[in-house]
Every structure is written in C-alpha cells, then in structure tokens.
Amino acid sequence: MTHPADSSAVLGRLFGLEGRVAAVTGAAEGMGHEIAKLLAVAGASVAILDRNSGDAVEVARAIDHRGGRAVAIGMDLADEQSIVAAVRQVAEQFGGIDILVNCAGIQNRELLTETSTELWDLVHSINSRGLFVCVREAARIMRAAGRGGRIISISSMGSIHPIMPGLAAYNASKAAVNALTRSAALELSGDGITVNAILPGAVATAGAAKAPGPAPSGRVVAGPPPLGRLATPADVAAAVLFLAGNGGAAITGQTLCIDAGYLLS
C-alpha cells in the first residue's frame, strides 16, 4: 500500500514547480490570470506580464497574499523593445526564467472580404510577431543559464479548424504560432528547452467578449461539444501546469487541443 507521503512526493516531482520562475504574458485577466494563479500554487515565482498594469498589479498582489511570490511587469506585445526590457527584468528580478507562457493576444474580428490590411497587420503584430519576440528573448536567457526550460504558447483550435466567420486574421496568426512552436522545439531541443502549444476551443473570457468586430456566429454556437460543456480557463491552466512540470519533460513540438471534444462533432 502506498503511503500518502510517498504519493505526495511523487506528485510533487511530476507537477511541483518549487524554485522555478514563470513568466506569463496576458496574465492580468482571463486564461493568463488562471494560469499564473495555478503556477504559483504549484510553487513557481510568477511574473505577470501585461500592458494592463493596474490589473496586473492586483493579480500579483493576490498571489502574494495567498503565500506565493509574484511581480507585475508592464509589457506591450506591439513594441519589441518593451518585450525585450520586460523579459530581461524578469530574469534580473528572479535570477532567470524557467517557464514562459505566451497567453496574451487579441481577437479582433472582421469578415474576410471586409478585413483591411491594417487589421491583419495589427492582429499578426500582437499574436505572432510579438509572441515570437517573447520566445526569442526567453530562449536566449534559458540557453545562457544552461538549465533547460519550458515554453508554452496559447494558440487556438481555429488555427487547425475554423469554426466561425470573422476570424481569418486571428486564425492565420495562431497557425503561425503552431509553426513557430515546432521550429523552436527543434532548434532548442539540444538545450533541454521544450516548446509546445495549447489550442483551446471556445472558452468564455472577458477578452473574447469585448473583442471588436462582428459577434461570434456559425458552428460554434450551434450546440455544445460532445462533453456537454465548453472548456474553461481552469482546463487550459491545468494543461499548462502539466507541460511546465517534470511530467511533461519528454513532450516537445506538440499542439494540444482542449476543446471538450468539439473537433469530434
């Protein structure tokens, strides 16, 4: 019979993040907020990276009050120098970066024939170009430290299977994230750095609700997925925790879809 203390030790080795530093972009609200909270509960020191400095500070303060360790750092994904400075600040303040979670993004919607190049460029500048800079800067720090690392990007189910009109620019930007994930996984494998992407299906978040453009329509609102519910930010956070810990050490270059079975329907 397994002793409870032994079970706890095994779970700690697989999912515990004590002594590790996690940087989470877009962590002031929504999925990023949920991810940051869970990584802190698992023992990681967490940097809350977001252009919404006020809410980021509140998230960091709440983590601190629960016994964790967190700091809020302002960062604008549309500004390369802002990203470079923010990532360096994380490393300087915590002594390195072990985990990068790319959650920040925008979902500005417009029907294909109405999509301007300005909207296309805006969406890609945040969702793919800005995310690339985050990966590049964190990878440089991880490689220099020589202790491996985890890079996890939040993509979208729409990157492999469009489910509603109005998201051509968004889905294309997330498909770029998937391709970057595989390329980065190959290039960084020799450094012990794993790189994976999570592809949520429809998840109700404040960011999606207030995104400009036509209201969501089409297949996504035709009925519930096979599991009878939508995935939640907590579901996404749990997957991030798995990939961030030792339990996911042999997983790299993968895209994990969390859609409550929607793609089966």
Q: Is residue 253 part of a domain?
A: yes
Does residue 10 lie in a domain region? no
24 within some domain: yes
Q: Is residue 241 part of a domain?
A: yes
Query: What pLDDT does 152 receive?
Result: 98
Active-site annotation, residues: 170
Q: How confident is the model at residue 15, as a pLDDT?
A: 85
> Nearest-CA neighbor of 22 among 71, 62, 81?
71
- Could you give the CA distance from residue 206 to residue 165 in angstroms, rounded to a whole number? 20
Output the pLDDT for position 209. 56
Sign of CA dihedral 217, 218, 222, 225: negative
Number of domains in the chain: 1
Q: Tell me if 9 is assigned to some domain.
A: no
- The rounded distance, in Å, linking the Cα atoms of 134 and 116 is 26
The predicted pLDDT at position 224 comes to 77
- Residue 20, pLDDT score: 98
Q: How far is CA 61 from the centre of its chain?
A: 21
For residues 226 and 244, what is the distance between their CA atoms, to the nearest angstrom?
Answer: 28
Question: Can you give the pLDDT at residue 221?
Answer: 47
Residuewise pLDDT in 10s, the chain (265 residues): 556 667 778 778 888 899 999 999 999 999 999 999 999 999 999 999 999 999 999 999 999 999 999 999 999 999 999 999 999 999 999 999 999 999 999 999 999 999 999 999 999 999 999 999 999 999 999 999 999 999 999 999 999 999 889 999 999 999 999 999 999 999 999 999 999 999 998 886 665 656 666 666 555 545 678 998 889 999 999 999 999 999 999 999 999 999 999 888 7
Angle, CA of 66, 69 and 74, to the nearest 5°: 115
For residue 126, give both structure tokens: 């945040």
Is residue 1 domain-resident? Answer: no
As to burial, measured by CB atoms within 10 angstroms (0-12 exposed, 13-18 middle, 19+ buried), residue 206 is exposed
Between CA 1 and CA 264 the distance in angstroms is 39
| Domain harbouring 242, CATH code | 3.40.50.720
Q: In angstroms, what CA-CA distances link 148 with 67, 105, 258?
A: 27, 26, 26
Q: What is the structure's pLDDT at 225?
A: 86
Residue ranges making up the domain that contains 117: 18-264
Query: Quick check: is 35 in a domain?
Result: yes
> In this predicted structure, what is the pLDDT of residue 154?
98
Q: Is residue 7 part of a domain?
A: no
